[in-house]
Structure 1
């Protein structure tokens, strides 16, 4: 028996792509349907793939221990959501640079310190990108922000201690925001 506490991953064969489908470019995402072969059964299956830029999400905390959050309309659910500031990593841009840029563009706040909490795959079943999570501390408002065309964002401040309640009561429902707060908690627990 191994002395490592990590479970041994089973060895899986890759699914080979037989045919690459026609790509549809929607600006923020490229979508295509490929034909792949199951390595276990050798049967062909269609699989959708969505190629997106990497994303950043920022847990922004002011010197007064308030969270800087954003509320914006989301077309997938036809409703507004309470979320973390964030957005796309531009081509050639480092994730930490994107995090600082998106925070300031969306909220007008600038971080005194920026710390990476890690990255997750939003949905590896069909998405290729990662979402990078950052903790921005000692944030101060430096402008009114510079929202992109197509953005209509309201900035809200919430007490940091309210995060569990905001999640459990369904005020924060965006899964990547919930994951970001979980990653922050895991990092804090590991430091103790």
Structure 2
């Protein structure tokens, strides 16, 4: 099998922002050909979780997603802040978005949203035994509604294509497999 990795010769930043950064890389392919401009979106890493309460309900959040002009039904999740550990970020996001604390949390997959154009990854967790300990503590531009579903209802939502966020479908797939539900 031939070597597949490209060599980055240089990088130029086009835009640097808090949520997305765009750079252009000049690359050399294994056979020596040069790619003059390969655009890469740099995003922070993300976390999400299939969060199951003590009474076996799956917590979902419904919120507006402006880029797609869509009210989206999702699992809780968000951005990892700086050098925050992924599991700590997930526990924080669960508490902020739902008001639930989870002692039992397990990484079930690590996936890339689109490795052809973006460099970040998403850590997907299964959180069990959630207890409501506080109200929501949302970010400035965050508005979301917490909803509870049975595992059977979540499986039906997936079957009916009612969960549009691909990374959240992926997290649900791995968590449902771990739970023996698929």
TM-score (norm 2): 0.91
Q: How far off is 1:45 after superposition? A: 4.3
Whether the 8 Å contact between 1:61 and 1:136 is mirrored in structure 2 is yes
Structure 1 segments unaligned to the other structure (5+ residues): 1-9
Q: Deviations over 1:110-162 (max 9, x none)?
A: 11311111311121112111100111111111111100111111111111111
Is the partner of 1:105 in helix, strand or coil? Answer: helix
1:46 to 37, 40, 59: 37
Q: Is 1:61 the counterpart of 2:85 in the alignment?
A: no
Counterpart CA distance in 2 for 1:153 and 1:35 is 41
Q: Which range is displaced more, 45-54 or 124-133?
A: 45-54
Q: How far off is 1:21 after superposition? A: 2.1
Partner of 2:167: 176
Whether the 8 Å contact between 1:69 and 1:83 is mirrored in structure 2 is yes
CA-based RMSD: 1.6
Structure 2 segments unaligned to the other structure (5+ residues): none
1:141 to 132, 137, 140: 132
Is the partner of 1:76 in helix, strand or coil? Answer: helix
Counterpart CA distance in 1 for 2:21 and 2:47 is 19
- The count of aligned residue pairs is 180
Counterpart CA distance in 1 for 2:139 and 2:145 is 13
